[in-house]
Amino acid sequence: MRTARELMRTLVPMRPIDFTRINAAALASFPDLLPRWLPDGRRQGAEYIARNPRRNDRTAGSFKINVNTGLWADFAVADVRGGDPVSLYAYLFGVRQSYAAREIARLLGINP
């Protein structure tokens, strides 16, 4: 027996997600999005500096996002980094990148 999800996929074909367009729109809206996603952060030059909510980070400083390029990293943890707003959202909220892209598109009022 097929699951409801499998049945829906046969009825409503999924459109491919335009990650490039969503990332570009999110990057243009970074000054508004980052304070929502990381409310205790602050802008310092071209970087947004915040505590990493995915670990016991007591002070801001090692988790940085470049607001111009979308590159982000936690310099206190190896291999915690990414290159765009979708990967940042996926990391912060522990979701798949496809869900993150759709959620950002919804927040910005654009089609994924």
> Is position 59 within any domain?
yes
Query: Which of 29-65 are b and which e, b meaning 16 or more Cβ less than 10 Å from the residue's Cβ?
Result: ebeebbeebbeebeeeeebbbbbbbeeebeebebbbb
> Is position 10 within any domain?
no
> Is position 5 within any domain?
no
How far apart CA 87 and CA 65 sit, in angstroms, is 12
> Is position 82 within any domain?
yes
How far apart CA 65 and CA 50 sit, in angstroms, is 9
Average per-residue pLDDT in the chain? 91
Q: What is the per-residue pLDDT across 25-47, written as a single tens digit (0 to 9) for each?
A: 999 999 999 999 999 999 999 99
Domain that holds residue 32: 17-108
Q: Domain tally for the chain?
A: 1
pLDDT over threshold 60, residue 12: no
The CATH number of the domain where 62 resides is what?
A: 3.90.580.10
> Is position 85 within any domain?
yes
Burial of 5 (0-12, 13-18, 19+ CB in 10 A): exposed
